[in-house]
Chain A
């Protein structure tokens, strides 16, 4: 039987852990709110720019832009596939990183023997994971998520695709449906998938088209500029979405941890009290026994 002091020590450490997890939950909740605002702000822009693109494509030849044209190699399941895997820099956020990585590994397994698959890791957790298992990285990005970093990431992918080094680019990330519903998601980034960006016209719809619009300076030049912008917007949106999911996952995980430590403290306290009573009972029995013997 453990001594009373040992158990009191365990209660103390459980209480300390609870304080830390509670604080982490609070921090995650505050950052989640900010991340959610940023994410909701980015959604209309991405949706509107995709809608504008879709609108212009409807009147244009669908294969008018190299970033929209599917490569025969990708259609045949050969060539080079690039996965951009969005994870967090830090752990302690439940299954968030694991879910994304599991999905990425699944694709690696399915596609690996058919075509060359390369990985771009965003977030320290993903980078460490692939390095540990000896998967060569075609690129990586860690640290704070800001517009400049997203732009750089998007431009790298566009460049790799345009140069012909890569035939298809997939984004593996997490979609934020609600705080308790975070879904790992695979979306095609390049060739740009016009159908993938849902038209959630929450912030307003594009102007109703009464007649086909004219383009200035010219249709081709607007189009050439529009496609990369749409790709950039999608990357930015996916990054913000992943970040919001990370904080939501951490908040839930830390809430569970706080609750578990509370349970642990309750049962340990009960156990400590039982031991304390057993000790008292034993002492009384000894006293009585001793008094009997003196008679």
Chain B
């Protein structure tokens, strides 16, 4: 199977680097699937779950917003954070998503920064979704 190189870089260091067969990432206007030989594209990303396939195995990762730089043989994702499904505690992710949801309710009533809280809620929901995809131990 044909592959391309995926490189996920965060300010805390590289999160993943290696050949993958398929990649689905949360672009600003919906999910974006990438196969080898994709045309050059620069896309902004929103917080959300992404997954890629290596040797027919699907790996999930929660990313916050950033940019995808896509080329025919290589894809670089520049994201603020990236967490693999195994590294996220499902119960804690759920609690935090709940907390953010409540904060958002409060912000809508008041005049706090709704967009900011909305973004962090999206991020927590992404983490929760990815945590659920983790293989059961």
Q: Do A and B bind each other?
A: yes
Which of A37, A48, A216, A229 is B76 in contact with, Cβ under 8 Å?
A48
Which of A37, A52, A207, A236 is B67 in contact with, Cβ under 8 Å?
A52
Chain B stretch 16-55: residues in CB contact (< 8 A) with chain A: 17, 27-29, 32, 39-44
Pick from B6-14, B86-94, B124-132 the stretch touching chain A: B6-14
Chain A residues, CB < 8 A from B40 = 207, 209-214
Chain B residues, CB < 8 A from A49 = 67, 78
Which range holds the interface residue count of chain B? 20 to 34
Shortest CB-to-CB span from A231 to chain B, Å, is 13
Chain A residues, CB < 8 A from B73 = 207-208
Pick from A64-72, A119-127, A218-226 the stretch touching chain B: A218-226
Chain A residues, CB < 8 A from B41 = 213-216
Given A207-B69, A213-B42, A222-B67: 10 more A-B contacts, CB < 8 Å: A40-B13, A41-B12, A42-B12, A203-B14, A207-B73, A210-B72, A216-B27, A222-B43, A225-B67, A229-B67
Count how many chain A residues have C-beta atoms less than 8 Å from C-beta atoms of the other chain. 35
Instruction: Report A138-155 CB contacts with B as 1/0, cut-off 8 Å.
Output: 000000000100000000
Interface residue? B133 (CB, 8 A): no
When chains A and B are docked, how far (Å) is the Cα of A223 from the Cα of B39? 19
Interface residue? B63 (CB, 8 A): no
20 contacting pairs across A/B (C-beta < 8 A)? A45-B78, A46-B11, A48-B76, A52-B78, A56-B42, A206-B74, A207-B40, A207-B72, A207-B73, A208-B74, A210-B71, A212-B40, A213-B71, A214-B42, A216-B27, A216-B29, A216-B42, A216-B44, A217-B44, A221-B44
Chain B residues, CB < 8 A from A48 = 9, 69, 76, 78
Chain B residues, CB < 8 A from A217 = 28-29, 43-44
Does B11 lie within 8 Å of A42, measured CB to CB? yes
Closest to A204 in B: B7
Interface residue? A94 (CB, 8 A): no
When chains A and B are docked, how far (Å) is the Cα of A204 from the Cα of B41? 18
Does A45 lie within 8 Å of B28, measured CB to CB? no
Interface residue? A79 (CB, 8 A): no
**Which residues does B use to contact A, with CB under 8 Å?**
7, 9-14, 17, 27-29, 32, 39-44, 66-67, 69-76, 78
Does B10 lie within 8 Å of A45, measured CB to CB? yes
When chains A and B are docked, how far (Å) is the Cα of A147 from the Cα of B69? 23
Closest to B43 in A: A216
Instruction: Report A76-112 CB contacts with B as 1/0, cut-off 8 Å.
Output: 0000000000000000000000000000000000000
Interface residue? A38 (CB, 8 A): yes
Rank and list the top 5 A-B pairs by shortest CB-CB distance, nearest first: A207-B71, A41-B13, A213-B40, A207-B74, A216-B43
Chain B residues, CB < 8 A from A147 = 11-12
Chain B residues, CB < 8 A from A226 = 44, 67
Does A45 lie within 8 Å of B11, measured CB to CB? yes
Shortest CB-to-CB span from A244 to chain B, Å, is 14
